[in-house]
Amino acid sequence: MPQLSHGRRMLVLAICCMSLLIVSLDNTVLNVALPSLQRELDASTSGLQWTIDAYTLVLASLLMLAGSTADRIGRRRVFMSGLVVFTLGSLLCSLAPDLNWLVVFRMVQAVGGSMLNPVAMSIITNTFTDPRERARAIGVWGAVVGLSMAAGPLVGGLLVDSVGWRSIFWVNLPVGLVALLLTWRFVPESRAPRARRPDPVGQVLVIALFGSLTYAIIEAPHGSLGSTLPFAALALIALLALLRHEPRRPEPLIDLRFFRSAPFSGATVIAVSAFAALGGFLFLSTLYLQNVRGLSAMEAGLWMLPMAVPTFLCAPLSGRLVGSRGPRLPLVIAGGAMTVSGLLFALFEAETSNATLLAGYLLFGVGFGFVNAPITNTAVSGMPTDQAGVASAVASTSRQLGQTLGVAVLGAVLAAGVGSSSYADTFVTASRPGWWILTACGAAVLTLGVVTTGRWARSTVERAARRLKGEEERARRAGVGA
């Protein structure tokens, strides 16, 4: 990618953030619409879970393929294709005649979304080459997640109450079209110096792993052991096959060598934990506010502002802290705040009091606001620049997988606890195990934030990067010699 002026770099960042905005906004808006969907389409709890997880599952399955493809054939080209498919998928979602078709069209959306966030992050990484400037750019990127969380519930609540749930997908149409035109005009093309070959076997194994695991978790409370156990077994087989297959590939879909870096491995697990907490938190909160407290979609959106606004405000601060002091402090703040938030619900039934509910939302918003920038920065820092697409795709995959598992696990826990009773009668008791799971996720962020950011952890980054460069150079010379 050619060296760009400061103004042009800021414009590229803004265009990339537009893609993140529509992808993130889509999830937060949809959460507010879940009770309306449930009534209009006669959906069960598992149906609501699939409405969200069909999207995040496909997204998680295809992100690494999209990242490596963009490195190979051109990031701008793949990014523009993603905008087209995502916008078309949004239009189809607004026209869905029933829940099954909505789930299918959400999967179409996800195919487009898989080409957006990891590719946009790769574009940002290659545009902002100075580490401190890159960390600040990633902080802005993280602030967009907070903006989507702040605007999503309000926009979604207003649209659902005034027009209906279908209108929530219309928001993506003008933003997607404007981002497409600006990308075509202002974003330069870039690709990795050496193209990576596809890994179709690895891709199939990833889809089998994520899909079967999610199905087994969501359907466990509703089906027999005999109907879900085969999917759990398939997930285990796919995982073992993936671990055996990938190291044998000269250019694997998931480069397991990245995990020699302790910060990279830690960032991956932190991303899964943090976004599992986010997915579960939004799912439980939306159902509680509307189905238990009886609030309208707009009123529920207003109640979520105490969570969304701190996320928006803390994300750029986190980016600046990562740039000036490293990732440890933001991760400690994030993990601590998320853990205390979970404990308020698990130990003190925060839902039953306005004051504790407000405190729980505020703390979770602060924690999630601080967690995103250090995840992204750690995932790509120290890695060879020609691997930026793959490395950022692994980080993005971890986020989406975490959100998928959060909705699947907490939804399954809630469904098992509620059973045939009404939400109003059993929700607080049935959701208690879910809040303990969220507390554990926050504790994992805190612990790994300390363990994987010290001097020893940083030394593993340098060793991993040297070995990656050395092995890539030997492979290149062998190819030339052949």
Sign of CA dihedral 32, 38, 43, 45: positive
pLDDT of residue 474: 58
pLDDT of residue 277: 93
Count other Cβ atoms within 10 Å, centred on residue 130.
Answer: 10
Mean pLDDT of 73-100: 91
Question: At a CB cut-off of 8 Å and minimum separation 6, what does 200 contact?
Answer: none
pLDDT of residue 359: 92
Asked if residue 351 has pLDDT above 80, the reply is no
pLDDT of residue 465: 65
Q: Which residue has the tokens 């009123």?
A: 299
pLDDT band at 70 (very low <50, low <70, confident <90, very high): confident
Asked if residue 420 has pLDDT above 90, the reply is no
Question: At a CB cut-off of 8 Å and minimum separation 6, what does 370 contact?
Answer: 314, 315, 317, 318, 330, 331, 333, 334, 337
Mean pLDDT of 342-371: 88
Mean pLDDT of 38-43: 84
Mean pLDDT of 268-278: 92
Residues in the chain: 482
More confident residue, 122 or 101: 101
pLDDT band at 439 (very low <50, low <70, confident <90, very high): very high
Phi, psi torsion values for 197, nearest 5 degrees: -80, 150
Asked if 294 and 427 count as a contact pair (C-beta separation under 8 A), the reply is no
Among 445, 150, 55, which residue's Cα sits nearest to residue 276?
445
Q: Residues 77, 111, 190, CA angle at the centre, nearest 5°?
A: 20
Asked if residue 475 has pLDDT above 80, the reply is no
pLDDT of residue 181: 92
Q: What is the mean pLDDT of the chain?
A: 83
What confidence tens digit (pLDDT) does each residue in 168-197 have? 898 889 988 999 999 888 888 877 666 667
More confident residue, 395 or 360: 360
Has this prediction a pTM greater than 0.85?
no
pLDDT of residue 482: 45
Asked if residue 214 has pLDDT above 70, the reply is yes
Asked if residue 447 has pLDDT above 90, the reply is yes
Buried b / exposed e across 155-178, counting CB within 10 Å, b at 16+?
Answer: bbbbbbbeeebbbbbebbeebbee
Count other Cβ atoms within 10 Å, centred on residue 22.
Answer: 25
What is the DSSP secondary structure assignment for residue 187, as one 8-state letter?
A: P
Sign of CA dihedral 125, 81, 67, 73: negative
Q: How far apart are CA 180 and CA 80, in angstroms?
A: 6
pLDDT of residue 480: 46
Q: What percent of the chain has a predicted confidence (pLDDT) above 70?
A: 87
